[in-house]
Structure 1
Amino acid sequence: MRYTFDFGAVLDRAPELLWGSLGTFGLALAGMLLALVIGILGVVARGSKIKIMRTLVIVFVEVVRNTPFLVQIFFIYFALPLAGIRLNPTVTAIIALGINGGAYAIEIIRGGVESVSRGQIEAGFALGLHKADVFRLIVLKPALRAIYPSLTSQFIMLTLTTSVCTSIAAYELTSAAQRIESDTFRSFEVYFTVTAIYLVISTLMMGLFALISRHYFNYPTR
């Protein structure tokens, strides 16, 4: 059986793929922001003197990192309504991505924080800086500089993970592709194109992260 390739059907639906790509970007960026917030707050709680807070963070990280993302998003979307918490697919996807990425971000950022020498922290206090300023200026920024490559790699993975959000009908690239494939029956052409688009998205993300690194995390030069 010979198969005749025809990308015309895909090109005719290009606007849908474009909007799906924007949906993927939106989910990814919102999920990354939430993950970063969860990561930073988690590291602060992990270093707290209150044992219950440290324990809760450890349990959170272990539960999230040792369960599939698909199960996590299904739990939020299908199980929470039984407790009276109903969220639309987009909000559910962002929360699930943020929680999943946040659990990994906690461990990555914690490693960076622990790499900052105690002497630097004590020097900050000796200069009269407030504890919050010491954490923000002396601990957090050098830590983020140290772990930036690992953190951005995790965020690239989070961007690709948005494809799983099609399972709850969140609008993104894979869900748009599925609709086009079901209408045209051009599976090869549709998913070949989508693969190329995901490669472009990942490349753009890497370029964006590299730009941020050059502006905010490079050491000053003479």
Structure 2
Amino acid sequence: MSYRFDFLALLPYWREFALGVWLTLQLSAVATVLGFALGTLCAIGRADGSPWVRAVIATYVEVIRNTPLLVQIFLVYFGIATLGIHLSANFAAVAALVVNVGAYTCEIVRAGIESIHKAQLEAAECLGLSRVQTYWHVILRPAIERVYPALTSQYVLLMLASSITSQISAEELTAVANRIQSDTFRSFETYIVVGVLYLALSMVVRLGFMGFGLVAFVRRRKLGTPL
């Protein structure tokens, strides 16, 4: 049995592929920014919060890290709808991705915070820095710089994981591919194209984070430390 590839059958759908790529990047960008903010706040709370705050954040992190992303997406999209709150597929997708990546970001940033030596905190106190100044200049910036490669990898994985949101009809790249293959009956060719597009997106996102790291972390660039 032989199979004849026909990628030309997909050519009329290039606009749909482009729109899928664009929405994938949008979902990933919004989820990355909001997830980083949520994760950083949780990391601060878990490292320096009251006992009940640490307990709540620890529970959130463990629940999210030990349940499938698909289940979390269904809970946000279908679960909230049962309460009478109807969210669009794209909004629910972003919300679920933010909640998911926030938990992983929390643990990554917390590891960076815990790597800061206590002597540096004592030095900041001797210099008379306020609590906010100490956190910004002595703790957060060096901590994020140290774990930046891990954060980069996590957010690339987030971009790839956004494909799961096709299950609630968010019109990202995988959802577009599902529709195209049902129209053309060229499943093999369609998903080969999608695989190549995701590979290209991963490289673009990684290069984007690398460029941002070169600008944001001058000391790391001067030392030649990998970003």
Same fold (TM over 0.5): yes
In the alignment, structure 1 segments of 5+ residues that lack a partner are: none
Corresponding position of 1:82: 82
For 1:195, give the aligned amino acid.
G
Looking at structure 1, the residues matched to 45 and 79 of structure 2 have their Cα atoms a distance apart, in angstroms, of: 27
Looking at structure 2, the residues matched to 221 and 125 of structure 1 have their Cα atoms a distance apart, in angstroms, of: 28
Contact 2:47 / 2:110 at 8 angstroms: preserved in 1?
A: no
Q: Post-superposition shift, 1:90?
A: 0.7
The answer on 1:141 being equivalent to 2:141 is yes
Corresponding position of 1:72: 72
Corresponding position of 1:50: 50
For 2:47, give the aligned amino acid.
G
- TM-score under structure 2 length normalisation: 0.94
Q: 1:206 to 1:49 in 2, by over 3 A?
A: closer
Corresponding position of 1:123: 123
Corresponding position of 1:163: 163
For 1:158, give the aligned amino acid.
L
Q: Deviations over 1:181-222 (max 9, x none)?
A: 000000111000000000000000110011011111131749
Structure 1: 4+ residue segments shifted above 6 A: none
Looking at structure 1, the residues matched to 89 and 130 of structure 2 have their Cα atoms a distance apart, in angstroms, of: 42
Identity of aligned residues (%): 39
In the alignment, structure 2 segments of 5+ residues that lack a partner are: none
Contact 2:77 / 2:92 at 8 angstroms: preserved in 1?
A: yes
For 1:211, give the aligned amino acid.
G
Cα root mean square deviation, aligned: 1.3
Q: How many aligned residue pairs are there?
A: 222
Corresponding position of 1:41: 41
Corresponding position of 1:212: 212
For 2:103, give the aligned amino acid.
A
Corresponding position of 1:94: 94
Q: 1:13 to 1:55 in 2, by over 3 A?
A: same
Looking at structure 2, the residues matched to 211 and 88 of structure 1 have their Cα atoms a distance apart, in angstroms, of: 33
